[in-house]
A = this chain, B = another copy of it.
Amino acid sequence: MIKTFDEKNYTWDGVDTLVYKQDGSPFKDVTRQVLFNGAFDIPCQFRYFEVKPGGYSTLEHHEHTHMVMIFRGQGQCLLGDTIVDVKVGDFIEIPSHTIHQFRANKGDYVGFLCLVNVERDKVQIPSAEEIEALKENPAIKEFLESC
Protein backbone atom coordinates (compact mmCIF):
# COMPACT_ATOMS: atom_id res chain seq x y z
CA MET A 1 0.00 0.00 0.00
CA ILE A 2 3.10 2.19 -0.04
CA LYS A 3 4.67 3.25 -3.31
CA THR A 4 8.15 4.44 -2.42
CA PHE A 5 9.43 7.47 -4.29
CA ASP A 6 12.83 7.40 -6.00
CA GLU A 7 13.93 11.01 -5.64
CA LYS A 8 16.70 10.61 -8.17
CA ASN A 9 14.55 9.39 -11.05
CA TYR A 10 11.15 10.77 -10.04
CA THR A 11 9.61 7.34 -10.22
CA TRP A 12 7.60 5.23 -7.79
CA ASP A 13 8.01 1.55 -6.88
CA GLY A 14 5.78 -0.60 -9.04
CA VAL A 15 4.48 2.28 -11.17
CA ASP A 16 5.07 2.19 -14.94
CA THR A 17 6.33 5.24 -16.78
CA LEU A 18 4.25 5.75 -19.90
CA VAL A 19 4.83 7.94 -22.88
CA TYR A 20 2.00 10.40 -23.00
CA LYS A 21 -0.14 9.81 -26.07
CA GLN A 22 -3.21 11.46 -27.38
CA ASP A 23 -4.27 10.75 -30.93
CA GLY A 24 -3.35 13.63 -33.13
CA SER A 25 -2.52 16.05 -30.36
CA PRO A 26 0.77 17.90 -30.25
CA PHE A 27 2.95 17.62 -27.17
CA LYS A 28 6.67 17.27 -26.55
CA ASP A 29 8.67 15.17 -24.11
CA VAL A 30 5.94 14.23 -21.66
CA THR A 31 5.67 11.06 -19.58
CA ARG A 32 2.88 9.88 -17.31
CA GLN A 33 2.78 7.70 -14.19
CA VAL A 34 -0.55 6.62 -12.70
CA LEU A 35 -0.15 6.60 -8.92
CA PHE A 36 -3.78 5.86 -8.08
CA ASN A 37 -6.40 4.51 -10.42
CA GLY A 38 -9.59 5.03 -8.42
CA ALA A 39 -10.83 2.74 -5.69
CA PHE A 40 -13.07 2.60 -2.65
CA ASP A 41 -14.78 5.98 -2.15
CA ILE A 42 -12.30 8.00 -4.21
CA PRO A 43 -13.49 7.92 -7.85
CA CYS A 44 -10.38 9.68 -9.12
CA GLN A 45 -7.10 9.03 -10.86
CA PHE A 46 -3.99 10.66 -9.44
CA ARG A 47 -1.19 10.91 -11.98
CA TYR A 48 2.29 12.37 -12.24
CA PHE A 49 3.19 14.03 -15.53
CA GLU A 50 6.72 15.04 -16.27
CA VAL A 51 7.78 17.44 -18.99
CA LYS A 52 11.46 17.53 -19.96
CA PRO A 53 13.34 20.82 -20.25
CA GLY A 54 11.90 22.73 -23.20
CA GLY A 55 8.96 20.33 -23.51
CA TYR A 56 5.26 21.04 -23.18
CA SER A 57 1.97 19.30 -22.58
CA THR A 58 -0.92 19.32 -25.05
CA LEU A 59 -2.76 22.61 -25.56
CA GLU A 60 -6.26 21.41 -24.73
CA HIS A 61 -9.58 21.87 -23.03
CA HIS A 62 -12.35 19.52 -21.93
CA GLU A 63 -15.50 19.25 -19.83
CA HIS A 64 -13.75 17.56 -16.91
CA THR A 65 -11.69 19.51 -14.43
CA HIS A 66 -8.13 19.09 -13.23
CA MET A 67 -6.61 19.64 -9.83
CA VAL A 68 -2.87 20.08 -10.29
CA MET A 69 0.11 20.49 -7.98
CA ILE A 70 3.58 21.21 -9.29
CA PHE A 71 5.93 18.57 -7.89
CA ARG A 72 9.20 19.19 -9.71
CA GLY A 73 11.02 22.11 -11.25
CA GLN A 74 9.45 25.14 -12.75
CA GLY A 75 7.86 26.38 -15.89
CA GLN A 76 4.82 28.21 -17.15
CA CYS A 77 1.16 27.39 -17.31
CA LEU A 78 -1.19 28.84 -19.88
CA LEU A 79 -4.60 28.92 -18.21
CA GLY A 80 -7.44 30.52 -20.12
CA ASP A 81 -6.20 33.97 -21.07
CA THR A 82 -3.28 34.16 -18.64
CA ILE A 83 0.22 32.77 -18.42
CA VAL A 84 1.68 32.21 -14.98
CA ASP A 85 5.05 31.07 -13.76
CA VAL A 86 4.71 27.91 -11.69
CA LYS A 87 7.10 26.17 -9.32
CA VAL A 88 7.09 23.30 -6.83
CA GLY A 89 4.10 23.35 -4.50
CA ASP A 90 1.90 25.67 -6.54
CA PHE A 91 -1.66 24.43 -6.66
CA ILE A 92 -3.78 25.00 -9.75
CA GLU A 93 -7.45 24.35 -10.46
CA ILE A 94 -8.31 24.05 -14.14
CA PRO A 95 -12.04 24.61 -14.60
CA SER A 96 -14.19 23.02 -17.25
CA HIS A 97 -13.34 24.01 -20.85
CA THR A 98 -10.47 26.28 -19.87
CA ILE A 99 -7.68 26.01 -22.44
CA HIS A 100 -4.45 25.03 -20.72
CA GLN A 101 -0.88 23.95 -21.38
CA PHE A 102 2.17 23.35 -19.18
CA ARG A 103 5.62 24.20 -20.43
CA ALA A 104 8.98 23.47 -18.82
CA ASN A 105 11.59 26.20 -18.82
CA LYS A 106 14.47 25.50 -21.18
CA GLY A 107 16.72 24.53 -18.29
CA ASP A 108 14.15 22.90 -16.01
CA TYR A 109 11.92 19.92 -15.82
CA VAL A 110 8.36 20.58 -14.83
CA GLY A 111 6.55 17.71 -13.12
CA PHE A 112 3.02 17.91 -11.86
CA LEU A 113 0.54 15.80 -9.94
CA CYS A 114 -2.89 15.79 -11.55
CA LEU A 115 -6.20 14.60 -10.15
CA VAL A 116 -9.17 13.84 -12.42
CA ASN A 117 -12.37 11.86 -12.17
CA VAL A 118 -11.93 8.26 -13.40
CA GLU A 119 -14.81 8.86 -15.82
CA ARG A 120 -14.19 11.87 -17.97
CA ASP A 121 -14.74 13.24 -21.45
CA LYS A 122 -12.10 13.22 -24.18
CA VAL A 123 -9.59 16.01 -24.53
CA GLN A 124 -10.42 18.63 -27.17
CA ILE A 125 -7.79 20.46 -29.16
CA PRO A 126 -8.55 24.15 -29.80
CA SER A 127 -9.43 24.96 -33.40
CA ALA A 128 -7.19 27.11 -35.58
CA GLU A 129 -9.68 29.97 -35.02
CA GLU A 130 -9.51 29.58 -31.25
CA ILE A 131 -5.72 29.60 -31.37
CA GLU A 132 -5.71 32.73 -33.51
CA ALA A 133 -8.04 34.41 -31.00
CA LEU A 134 -5.69 33.45 -28.16
CA LYS A 135 -2.76 34.94 -30.06
CA GLU A 136 -4.38 38.37 -30.02
CA ASN A 137 -2.79 38.57 -26.59
CA PRO A 138 0.92 39.19 -27.37
CA ALA A 139 2.11 37.28 -24.30
CA ILE A 140 0.09 34.21 -25.30
CA LYS A 141 1.25 34.55 -28.90
CA GLU A 142 4.84 34.48 -27.70
CA PHE A 143 4.13 31.52 -25.39
CA LEU A 144 2.42 29.46 -28.10
CA GLU A 145 4.99 30.21 -30.75
CA SER A 146 7.81 29.15 -28.45
CA CYS A 147 6.20 25.71 -28.04
Residues of A at the B interface (CB closer than 8 Å) are 1-7, 12, 35-36, 39-44, 46, 63-65, 67, 69-71, 77, 79, 84, 86-96, 113, 115-117, 120
Contact = CB atoms under 8 A, between A and B. Distances in A.
16 contacts: A1-B93, A1-B94, A2-B91, A3-B90, A3-B91, A4-B90, A5-B89, A5-B91, A40-B64, A41-B63, A41-B64, A41-B120, A42-B115, A42-B116, A43-B43, A44-B115
Contact of A36 (B5, B12, B91): B91
A131 B94 CA distance: 43
**Closest 7 pairs between A and B when the two form their complex, measured CB to CB:** A5-B89, A40-B65, A3-B91, A41-B117, A1-B93, A5-B90, A2-B92
A42 B69 contact: no
